[in-house]
Amino acid sequence: MTKLEHEVELPTREFVSNKKELRKVLSAYGAKRAEEIEVKMKKGELGEHPAYEDYLSALQLEMNLHALRELLKEKYSRLIEE
């Protein structure tokens, strides 16, 4: 395995793990994005606990996924050209 292949493998695993965790959190609230949990809390459809903590977790997971997606785009692009 080349160094670049290794550099792609680890973030890919992390991406998949984060994606699964995000789906789990969002599905508990019937949401597709973290902001939907926040909207439901503001409307009074959800209590703040544990919804607020889950909202923050979902937000962080979405940010992580965005960063990993950008990293993987760059890494895979280099790997394809290799």
CB-based contacts of 54, cutoff 8 Å, min separation 6? 25, 28, 29, 37
Question: Which among 64, 67, 46, 66 is positioned nearest to 55, based on CA atoms?
Answer: 46
Whether residue 50 lies inside any domain: the answer is: yes
pLDDT tens digit sequence for 23-39: 999 999 999 999 999 99
Instruction: Indicate whether 70 belongs to any domain.
Output: yes
Mean pLDDT of 65-77: 97
In a domain, residue 81? The reply is: no
Residue 23 lies in a domain: yes
Answer yes or no: is 14 within a domain. yes
Q: Which domain holds residue 61?
A: 3-75
* 13, part of any domain: yes
Confidence of residue 1 (pLDDT cuts 50, 70, 90): confident
**59 contacts: CB under 8 Å, gap ≥ 6:** 34
The verdict on residue 71 lying in a domain is yes
Number of domains present in the structure of the chain: 1
